[in-house]
Amino acid sequence: MLQTQLQNLIDYLEKKFESSLDEKLEKLMKVYRPFTTLRYNMEKQNEKNKIEIISLLNTFSNNTIYESAKKLNISTVEFDEKIPSTTHVSQIYDAVNKCIYSEGVSMSHEEYAIFELITNAQTLISTIVEQAKKCVEEATLSTSLLTATCLTKAKINADLVYATAPGSVTMQFFKMQVEKGVKRLEACDQSKSYDEIRSSLDKIKDEIYNKIIEKQQSLKQ
């Protein structure tokens, strides 16, 4: 009789809690994945932008239009002063990385707190199962009532653990937290700042080109 009660309890715990907790962890990871994917992609894009812009800056004064200006004895000093510094690019890069890291840490804390609830519940429920087994192992005819009470208490405790921890963690709540984290992470993006540098370099090229045209026209007169 007690063995049957024990097996029923274990089946109940495994079906309602252990499998449910595993499933919830899996769903949480799936909901969290967009944040980790975005973070990875933003870090890669930030690195790519930095390398690309610095390469443009380092080779800018050696481009064809610059060389043409020099051959015509056109001063490029005023244009040189307009070229953004690599230090400025590094500052943008560092600011983005710092922001991404900060949001990642913040989101990780929220994620960890929720995951900790579930893993702690798993540990507690495993302990409750072991205690129930011990109740049965130590049972005698004279203590059968106490053993039955022990099993009932184990079930109640398991219900309480689930209700006060992972059972209270809804997918909708966690999804909302992740969505907020994604928005904060997206706010770290500085693609516009990198694009402004690209635009400024194109503008400088246009200004030099206009100077070259003016010079060539003056030479023809």
pLDDT in tens, 43-67: 999 999 999 999 999 888 777 888 8
Domain borders along the chain are 2-216
**pLDDT category, 1, cuts 50, 70, 90?**
low
Q: What's the mean per-residue pLDDT of the chain?
A: 82
Which range is most confident: 7-11, 53-57, 103-107? 53-57
Residue 121: pLDDT over 70: yes
pTM above 0.85, yes or no: no
CB-neighbour burial class of residue 83 (10 A; exposed 0-12, middle 13-18, buried 19+): middle
Q: What is the pLDDT of residue 40?
A: 95
CB-neighbour burial class of residue 128 (10 A; exposed 0-12, middle 13-18, buried 19+): buried
What single DSSP character describes residue 75?
-
**Residue found under tokens 């929720």:** 114
Q: What is the pLDDT of residue 221?
A: 65
Residue 41: pLDDT over 80: yes
**pLDDT category, 96, cuts 50, 70, 90?**
very high
Residue 216: pLDDT over 70: yes
Residue 144: pLDDT over 70: no
- In this predicted model, what pLDDT tens digit does every residue of 151-203 receive, in sequence order? 777 777 777 777 766 555 667 778 888 899 999 999 999 999 999 999 999 99
Contact partners, residue 122, CB within 8 Å, separation at least 6: 18, 21
Please state the φ and ψ torsions of residue 199, each to the nearest 5 degrees.
Answer: -65, -40
**How many Cβ atoms from other residues are within 10 Å of residue 17's Cβ?**
23
**pLDDT category, 38, cuts 50, 70, 90?**
very high
